Chain A
Amino acid sequence: MSKPILATTSLAGCFGCHMSILDIDERILELIELVEFNKSPIDDIKKFTKKCDIGLIEGGCCNSENVHVLKDFRENCKILVSLGECAIMGGLPAMRNGIPIKECLEEAYLNGPTVVGNTTGIIPNDPELPMLLDKVYPCHEVVKIDYHLPGCPPRADLIWEALVALVTGDEMKMPYEVIKFD
């Protein structure tokens, strides 16, 4: 039997959840025995080259590109897992929810106390840039998500146990200490 294929991505996240994947330490050697990586920042494959079994999603959806990538993952992965608070509930980027997008941009590029050098008063609007959404959406409010692993970041042991459970089909071990929201 060929190895299950794993894809990962970071949407509106800080890459902390990916760092937590690396926190499984030497078990990463076991992981590459267990699974094959496809599209992921870990092996730097930019586009899906085949259908995958498991997709790990870090971060929520704050712009049009995030939605595009998330839908691409849903199409190409049998199982999608929301990894971390941002994917599950928007996380810290969602603290802008409820504040009009115009106000956010003006604070960031015009009026904020740390703004320097923007003498022409430009708010970036190049068509190459993804459009910001009205608010940050949890992934499961955009596509169907099969499993959720909370944490900021999710503990490495939680990620490891979840991956092993998904690959082997065994029931997942969930000790109290590993399920945390921070």
Chain B
Amino acid sequence: MDTIIRITIDGIECMASRGQYIVEAAKENGIYIPTLCNYPGVKPKGSCRICTVKVNGKLMTACTTPVSQGMQIENNTSELNELRKAIIELLLVEGNHFCPSCEKSGFCELQALAYRFKVMVPRFPYSFPLRKVDASHPKIIKDQNRCILCKRCIRAVKDDKGRSIFAYRRRSHRVEVGVDAKLGKLLTDELAQKAMDVCPVGSIIVKEKGFAVPIGERKYDNKPIGSDIENISVSKH
């Protein structure tokens, strides 16, 4: 059976491989669908809903929905972008995101999305929740003020036996990501750095190093998030 299928994204004919997730198919066709909880190479979760697209008129998360023949996908529409902007604003008021004092500023995906969607001020009231900074681990700081509970660290940072170093603890609105008390002791420098890189915000920070890249040269200082995808030349199938 032919594994190459046709889909359209915002009216543009695209080729995709059967079974591929919409986000990845779009990426191969040079179309950026904004994501936040999604991380390349990690099983998608579809929890942040930033990647919401309309598939044949129905709202679906593009990171968890596989493509199928003839799918008509809406992505870059004012309706969807307005919904995405609202989610970003909700995330900004839900935690304590003090960008000026954050080590991850300039590399933060939540911040980068806010720049891309031109969030000048959230429409929702700030909640200023009281949350803790856990600096007890010798290698990393876990700042709960900045955590958006995307589970990227839980899904991506594992020891050599495949066990997660990070885990959810507590329940409901008190839920937070913590470092596993036993496995955390085995955290290598490489894994600590990976955890910081995997975290889309500044909730996991490697100790004893910060602000290494000057303002103006950071990842999202000059180029919007997603511009690398939009600028790739699309190879024709």
Binding site for B on A (CB under 8 A): 82, 85, 88-92, 94-95, 97-99, 135, 138, 140-141, 145, 147-150, 152, 174, 176-177, 179-182
Contact = CB atoms under 8 A, between A and B. Distances in A.
Contacts of A176: 115, 222-224
B106 interface: yes
B126 A89 contact: yes
B125 A179 contact: no
A3 to B, nearest CB: 27
B155 to A, nearest CB: 27
Contacts of A181: 99-100, 105, 111, 114-115
Interface of B: 96, 98-102, 105-106, 111, 114-115, 118, 120-122, 125-126, 128-130, 215, 221-224
A15 to B, nearest CB: 15
Contacts of B98: 85, 91-92, 94-95
B222 A94 contact: no
Contacts of A147: 120
Nearest to A135: B128
A181 B126 CA distance: 16
Nearest to B120: A148
Given A98-B129, A99-B130, A174 B118 contact: yes
B129 to A, nearest CB: 7
A72 to B, nearest CB: 22
A176 B221 CA distance: 8
